[in-house]
Structure 1
Amino acid sequence: RSPRDGKFLEMLGTYDPLKTENNIKIDAEKVTSWVKKGAKPSDTVASLLKKAGVE
């Protein structure tokens, strides 16, 4: 298993839990592209995507 702070393939968005508004920024096109390629978001990521309106 790769380390949590290892390299990433592509930046899809950001999440700042300390902000109260606009704390999730997601590039919906990139997320959709990765899901079509077979990527499976974790339960936590799926929850964040749902909050951001990306499904």
Structure 2
Amino acid sequence: AAEKQMKDKQDEEQRLMRRQRTRRMMRTKMRMRRMRRTRRKMRRKMSPARPRTSC
């Protein structure tokens, strides 16, 4: 029984770690998306004559 409790505790800790990691990744993805949008706007303002590139 004690071994099962230990295993359950470890599984719970791993699950919490995974959840935190995914949440952090989502946050960073959102920030990257926002930054990319603002950067594109700034570039368009700075140089409107330059043709649009792929990225």
TM-score with structure 1 length normalisation?
0.27
Greater strand fraction, Structure 1 or Structure 2:
1
